[in-house]
Amino acid sequence: MSRKLKTMDAETLMTTPMEPLKFIVSGLLPEGLHVLAGSPKIGKSWLALWICLQVAKGEKVWGFETLRSKVLYLCLEDSFVRIQSRLFEITDEAPSTLHFAIMSDAIGHGLENQIESFIKEHPGTGLIVIDTLQKVRKTVSANVNPYASDYDDINALKQIADRHHLAMLLVHHLRKTGDADPLNMISGTSGIAGGADTNFVLQKDKRTENTAKLICTGRDIEGRELFLEFNKNSFVWELLEPIEMQQLIIPDEIFLLCDFIKSVGSFTGTATELIENLNLDCSPAILKKRIIKHMEHLGRNGIHYSENRTFERREFTLHYDGNDDMTEESSPQNLPSLPSAPSQGSDLAAVAPCSPLCGEIDGGVAITPPNPNKTAN
């Protein structure tokens, strides 16, 4: 008997706080399954090893912050002697949180259990690199659909990454024939690139050059091209051009909300009641949507959200725990000031009104008054 579909309606989905996606390398390598493809001997393994080191140390990958984690590197085309030699070249101190293996089973023949055992023995594992993908695949018979085979192998590894909220990076090869679309150059069928959450293609114009372009495309990252140069002295791929980081712009009313919750300590009520307390001119749905969307920002301000929904009321609580990592530079300027926290026994509705920030509603869309410095999301 088939299982019943588990569904969630759109309204519930938009008003339900979700755990934010965890990035092992901020803006570049989120949890999930990723492919790093390049021509043979182009320097993929040097890049993979350096990324492993940076994550294990908690140091930046170019301009991107890393989440310090335990790392497993399956360097299946190398020996421990070669890996040791490479470590001597690129670092003076190698952390004990970076683990290597030079042999493993294949996908569907024990590899999944080997990885699961490692994760169990090493809690806090955030990155697993398999170099190369082809070394953990079995030969497919001629009567098997190659696309289905590629997709099934990728999906088997992706399930592990998703289940443990870690990043898994598969080092892979490119076709010898060129293509205008870099994804079409990834060896195998489109089941590999299509099954991965992110694809990185390392390309050189000429094999003898030290410069290369890293093309980054994925479901959860901003598409970008990074121009790199391989430093023959440090054996590290270095960034040639500065990175333009796209940042999520926080709406003014979220900053105002943070100030309000910090001043009163806690609020319990409906979105309509919160709008009345802040004297905002927007619909409850718009305010609730923005609270859910910017939950990570609230968390950095030490503000926690919880639902108190009953049959009659859709209440929620916003509570300030007294701890936040936000600095004055993180806050916008020229926001309306909030009054001091009310004394005990005072009515929250007595808070002095502030300037409307959410704007008017036109056809269900929030129309925000123009701000020369930022655009609300």
Averaged pLDDT, groups of 10, the chain, 377 residues long? 89 85 95 96 96 98 96 97 97 96 97 98 98 91 88 97 98 87 90 96 89 96 95 96 77 91 94 91 89 90 87 87 65 46 39 37 36 46
Q: How many domains does the chain have?
A: 2
Residue 257 and residue 226 share a domain: no
> Does 322 map to a domain?
yes
pLDDT at 85: 97
| Residue the block writes with tokens 């393994």 | 45
Round to whole Å and give the CA distance between 284 and 42: 54
pLDDT at 16: 85
| CATH for 168 | 3.40.50.300
Q: Side-chain half-sphere of 174: how many Cα atoms within 13 Å?
A: 25
Confirm whether 212 is domain-assigned. yes
299 in the same domain as 200: no
Residue 277 lies in a domain: yes
Domain boundary residue among 205, 239, 273? 239
CA-CA distance, 76 to 100, in Å (whole number)?
9
Residue where a domain stops, chosen among 183, 210, 239: 239
**Look-up: residue for tokens 């030969």?**
139
CA atoms within 13 A on the CB side of 213: 9
Q: 14 with 162, same domain? A: yes
Q: Residue 143 domain-assigned?
A: yes
- Residue 36 burial (C-beta neighbours within 10 Å; 0-12, 13-18, 19+): buried
Whether residue 18 sits in one domain with residue 126: yes
Looking at the fold, whether 287 and 206 belong to one and the same domain comes out as: no
* Residue whose pair of structure tokens reads 């054996």 in the numeric block: 235
Boundaries of domain holding 278: 252-367
Judge if 223 and 273 occupy the same domain. no
- Structure-token pair, residue 131: 């170099």
276 part of a folded domain: yes
What token pair was written down for 141? 């018979």
Amino acid at 134: Q
Residues in the chain, total? 377
Residue among 261, 247, 313, 311 at smallest CA distance from 291: 261
- Domain co-membership, 273 together with 358: yes
Domain co-membership, 23 together with 106: yes
Query: Can you tell me the distance from the alpha carbon of 286 to that of 187, in angstroms, rounded to the nearest whole number?
Result: 46
Shared domain check, 109 and 177 = yes
The answer to whether residue 375 sits within a structural domain is no
- Contacts of 137-146 with C-beta under 8 Å, sequence gap 24+, read 137/106, 137/107, 138/106, 138/107, 138/108, 138/109, 146/188, 146/189, 146/191
Last residue of a domain, one of 239, 268, 288: 239
Q: What is the pLDDT of residue 2?
A: 82
